[in-house]
């Protein structure tokens, strides 16, 4: 390990190069000095409570709002700890706390104050206590802020510093090439002391994009970034980072300047908090998503955005061909990087990752099926003026209520198959809170808020949650009990280390098969993705290397190498050599 002073020297050199690229040689020295001043101000306060570096097969991540579970007027984080102690003791090692700051809309992603904890979540002391038990992932909402943020109030009043923090354009400007994740207008009209002004708003008129062409914006956000490191973040999620830098006449997504800012943040982490993992959130086609690994000098972890729609499509169709072909072509992450595997999150099931994989009629057929299961579809605007589907809004449990032929009796088995399959792939498995409790669609939430994403963002009173989690007949109890058991089993298998090798095998349309291989252990994960029993020759699976016996860790069955493996509807097995 290099000395702290050497790491700071390296940071200064790299930061100056990146800042010269962003803002020019003449300004680079001054901006570099200001950035290093921020780093030195926070350096002594930056610490970590969890293990220093790396990850292993025991790592899991929970995605949740800090106040998703409520009890009287107690802080939500206390209820979250109660939930984990009762139902998933020692199974969750990291928690992604979705934006826990005061906000004006979008359930936290329109941030009013980046450095405060909202009352329903708790206080910074609660965050600190949680960080002593779990690795915490903070959201750095760095693309935009709320129109109630003090910076934007400065803009309205034409005062420093915020008057220059946003992108103001003539509404007649040609913005047709800009990539849009929404169908709302890109420019939001704002009444200011100078009259009506139109500002860039990628996601909504309440989420105003910041102008990173102004170095003061970058420095202000790096101050917030370093503040989060000082508060014990083990992971930092860069929300909507792909849209960060704007340049007229381009798509304004994945621009070289955006990647340079991610690299700068990685330089800062490497210098003062090498245990921290940068996680990029980019709901875009798969190849674009992977670009945020860079050359091992950007994100340490990227979301596997193709996985949620691919697993859903596979189980809805009862055909693993698309998932198998995709997984077989998946490049291993760079050294020091890994994937964050998930099937559900606070957002909907993104569809952009399917672009180029599925014909439009297949996508539409899947959407029609999701409508039957109570879901909705959000749209995005395209340069040609048409709106196309962007994400499915539905709880993942209800998305697996049936297949393309309709609802059936296999919902629980199908859902457990989806989660176990996700746990088997190279990377770290992430579970959304609503999935851990097999939550159905919250249609009342959609009606109450008028927002489609509310269907999968239910706030649970403890008096309502505890009974369903403890009722042996309720799906929430059945699913949580079995998931708890399978997570424990996974944590005991070194072949599921995020860095362990992965090989996907094509064993026919009805099966998804992946082999994971660590230093001293091999696991064959085999899944029946259909409603009917499937038979697989172990001799074929093992390519003739069938000496000895194999134990299914999940089902606790033992097989000889010359036997056939019979999998019931949606059954998954983890076969290891005994």
Q: What residues contact 389, with CB distance under 8 A and at least 6 apart?
A: 351, 363, 367, 377, 378, 379, 380
Cα angle value 170/175/179 (rounded, 5°): 140
Name the DSSP letter for residue 226.
H
Is 237 annotated among the ligand-binding residues?
A: yes
Distance from chain centroid for Cα 104:
22
Q: Tell whether 49 is in a known binding site.
A: no
Q: Is 366 annotated as a binding residue?
A: no
* Residues 195, 196, 202, 204, Cα dihedral to 10°: 110
For residue 76, what are its two tokens? Answer: 């939500």
- Give me the sign of the Cα torsion angle 537, 540, 542, 544: positive
Residue in 272, 265, 276 with CA at minimum distance from that of residue 43? 272
Q: Is 128 within any annotated ligand binding site? A: no
Give the Cα separation of 73 and 457 in Å (integer): 20
What are φ and ψ of residue 255, in 5° steps? -70, 155
Residue 565 region, left (φ>0) first, then alpha (ψ -120 to 50), else beta? beta
Collapsing DSSP states into helix, strand and coil, what is residue 353? helix
User: Residue 322 and residue 314: Cα distance in Å, rounded?
Assistant: 7
- Is position 346 annotated in a ligand binding site? yes
- Tell whether residue 106 is among the known ligand binding residues: yes
**Does 182 show up as a binding residue in the annotation?**
no
Q: State how far Cα 289 lies from the chain centre.
A: 12
Q: Is 239 a catalytic residue?
A: yes
51 DSSP assignment: -
Decide if 104 contacts 112 (C-beta within 8 A): yes
Distance between start and end Cα atoms, the chain: 40
Please tell me the number of Cα atoms within 13 Å of 126 on its side-chain side.
20
Distance CA 233, CA 47 (A): 9
Helix spans in 24-122 (H): 25-43, 76-87
Asked if residue 9 lies in contact with residue 262, where contact means CB atoms within 8 angstroms, the answer is no
Angle (CA) 325 327 328, round 5°: 65
Q: Catalytic residue among 239, 267, 398, 552, which?
A: 239
Q: Which residues are catalytic?
A: 239
Query: Residues annotated in the binding site for substrate, as ranges?
Result: 106, 144, 237-239, 346-347, 453
């Amino acid at each position: 390990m290099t000395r702290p002073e050497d790491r700071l020297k390296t940071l200064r050199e790299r930061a100056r190069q990146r800042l010269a690229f962003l803002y020019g040689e003449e300004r680079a020295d001054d901006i570099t000095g200001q950035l290093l001043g921020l780093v030195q101000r926070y350096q002594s306060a930056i610490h970590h409570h969890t293990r220093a570096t790396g990850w292993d097969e025991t790592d899991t991540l929970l995605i949740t709002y800090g106040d998703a579970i409520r009890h009287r007027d107690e802080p939500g984080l206390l209820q979250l700890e109660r939930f984990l102690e009762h139902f998933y003791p020692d199974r969750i090692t990291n928690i992604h706390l979705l934006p826990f700051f005061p906000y004006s809309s979008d359930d936290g992603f329109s941030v009013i104050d980046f450095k405060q904890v909202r009352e329903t979540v708790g206080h910074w002391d609660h965050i600190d206590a949680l960080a002593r038990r779990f690795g915490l992932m903070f959201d750095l909402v760095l693309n935009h802020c709320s129109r109630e943020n003090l910076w934007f109030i400065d803009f309205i009043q034409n005062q420093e510093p915020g008057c220059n923090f946003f992108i103001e354009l003539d509404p007649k400007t040609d913005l047709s090439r800009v990539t849009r994740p929404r169908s709302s207008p890109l420019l939001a009209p704002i009444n200011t002391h100078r009259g009506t002004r139109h500002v860039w708003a990628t996601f909504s008129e309440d989420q105003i994009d910041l102008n990173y062409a102004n170095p003061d914006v970058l420095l202000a956000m790096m101050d917030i970034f370093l503040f989060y490191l000082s508060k014990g973040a083990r992971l930092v999620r860069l929300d909507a980072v792909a849209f960060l830098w704007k340049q007229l006449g381009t798509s304004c997504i994945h621009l070289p300047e955006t990647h340079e800012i991610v690299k700068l943040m990685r330089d800062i982490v490497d210098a003062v908090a090498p245990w921290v993992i940068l996680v990029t959130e980019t709901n875009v086609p798969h190849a674009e998503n992977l670009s945020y690994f860079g050359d091992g000098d950007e994100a340490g972890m990227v979301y596997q955005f193709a996985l949620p729609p691919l697993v859903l499509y596979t189980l809805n169709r009862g055909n693993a061909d698309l998932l198998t072909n995709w997984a077989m072509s998946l490049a291993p992450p760079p050294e020091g990087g890994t994937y964050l595997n998930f099937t559900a999150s606070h957002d909907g099931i993104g569809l952009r990752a399917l672009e180029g994989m599925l014909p439009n009629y297949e996508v539409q057929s899947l959407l029609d099926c999701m409508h039957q299961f109570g879901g909705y579809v959000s749209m995005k605007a395209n340069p040609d003026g048409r709106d196309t589907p962007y994400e499915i809004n539905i709880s993942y449990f209800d998305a697996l209520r049936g297949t393309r032929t309709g609802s059936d009796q296999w919902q629980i088995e199908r859902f457990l198959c989806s989660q176990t399959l996700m746990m088997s792939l190279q990377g770290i498995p992430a579970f959304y809170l609503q999935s851990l409790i097999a939550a159905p669609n919250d249609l009342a939430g959609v009606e109450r808020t008028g927002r489609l994403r509310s269907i999968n963002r239910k706030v649970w009173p403890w008096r309502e949650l505890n009974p369903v989690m403890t009722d042996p007949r309720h799906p929430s109890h059945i699913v949580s009990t079995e998931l708890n058991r399978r997570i424990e089993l996974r944590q005991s298998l070194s072949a599921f280390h995020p860095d362990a090798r992965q090989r996907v095998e094509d064993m026919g349309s009805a099966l998804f098969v992946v082999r994971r291989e660590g230093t001293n252990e091999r696991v064959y994960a085999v899944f029946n993705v259909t409603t009917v029993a499937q038979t697989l020759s172990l001799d074929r699976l093992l390519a003739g290397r069938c000496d000895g016996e194999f134990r299914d860790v999940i089902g606790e069955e033992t097989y000889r190498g010359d036997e056939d493996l019979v999998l019931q509807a949606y059954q998954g097995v983890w076969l290891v050599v005994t």
